[in-house]
Amino acid sequence: MLTEASTYPAYRRLGHDGLANRARRAVATLADCRACPRDCGVNRLEDRWAACKTGRYAVVSSVFPHFGEEDCLRGWNGSGTIFFAHCNLRCVFCQNFDISQDIKPAAERGSTPREIADMMLWLQAQGCHNINFVTPEHVAPHVIEAVSIAAELGLHLPIVYNTSAYDALESVALLEGIVDIFMPDFKYWSAERSKVYLKAADYPRAARAAIQAMHAQVGPLVVDEDGLARRGLLIRHLVMPGCLDETRAILEWIATTLGSDTYVNLMDQYHPAGKVGESAYPEINRTLTSAEFREAWRIASDLGLQRLDIRRPHPRLRRRMLLVSV
């Protein structure tokens, strides 16, 4: 149901002083960084780094209107994505391995908060429906700092926090009243597989805690009359080959803990990438079968999950695609 709170970006209600104070608090945490569950404790204000290989300034890999996101995000003008480089996880199958793990520290110049704010304003000028921060876990303080500047300069789009869910609860708390749409990707349920494939045995525990905190802030996903997301939680889950037990456990937790009205995007686009090959991690060196993906959908349906993502492009996007193809 649309309310005033769900139609107006959260950060606009904080006001200038509220945003500025939040940004100062967020940046101060970088002196003893606990932005993610790695708890590195390094002083990033002095441009030092540890697991995430990111110091005082966030490294932006790309900025563009994204038309491959969920319909409720891409609409007809695209989701305004800002991809951050580096990552706090070490997923062996990462589809963006070149910018998450293969990139060397200091290989690219970090962007100042004002530069990131200008990126948001440029995306807004392109007609994008939201600002979509991709892989922001390790730069949550930087995101808050940049949003505070962008809001002062006229930003009025909803903020999407597109995360692996490996977020510290401190970061999620700092994001309250700033993020409109939390979009965590719940990857694995078991500590054993998380240790092997993500190099983070504590991932399931951290992800569950973070997702619950996100849900407590924004509730179920709310969309407007055009089908665009305005506020709430959208959970992604990439179905992995040979891991339907993981999918079942995650979906059971979503249904029982968060509720059957939770919006879930079951994704079937896994393909071997990153470090996966014939000699390394051969058990996931294949694509998902159609039978596996059908079973994942059946599990979700049997659990009573009512809001599974189905792609139905907006009529205005279909017209746009037709014009491009001509």
pLDDT in tens, the chain (326 residues): 656 555 679 999 999 999 999 999 999 999 999 999 999 999 999 999 999 999 999 999 999 999 999 999 999 999 999 999 999 999 999 988 888 888 777 767 899 999 999 999 999 999 999 999 999 999 999 999 999 999 999 999 999 999 999 999 999 999 999 999 999 999 999 999 999 999 999 999 999 999 999 999 999 999 999 999 999 999 999 999 999 999 999 999 999 999 999 999 999 999 999 999 999 999 999 999 999 999 999 999 999 999 999 988 888 888 877 776 65
Q: What local confidence, expressed as pLDDT, does residue 319 receive?
A: 81
CATH node for 4-325: 3.20.20.70
Contact 43, 129 (CB under 8 A): no
Side chain identity at residue 251, one-letter code:
L
Q: What local confidence, expressed as pLDDT, does residue 317 receive?
A: 82
Q: What local confidence, expressed as pLDDT, does residue 321 receive?
A: 73
Contact 158, 181 (CB under 8 A): yes
Contact 264, 305 (CB under 8 A): yes
Cα–Cα nearest to 176, from 208, 150, 140, 203: 140
DSSP-assigned letters across all residues of 114-134:
HHHHHHHHHHHHTT-SSEEEE
Q: What local confidence, expressed as pLDDT, does residue 325 receive?
A: 64
Domain ranges of the chain: 4-325
* Strand pairing category for 229-238 and 222-223: antiparallel
Q: Which long-range contacts (CB under 8 A, 24 or more apart) does 249-254 make?
A: 249/189, 249/190, 250/186, 250/188, 250/189, 251/299, 251/300, 251/303, 251/305, 252/303, 253/189, 253/208, 254/186, 254/305
pTM equals: 0.95
Side chain identity at residue 226, one-letter code:
D
Q: What local confidence, expressed as pLDDT, does residue 250 receive?
A: 98
Q: What local confidence, expressed as pLDDT, does residue 99 receive?
A: 82
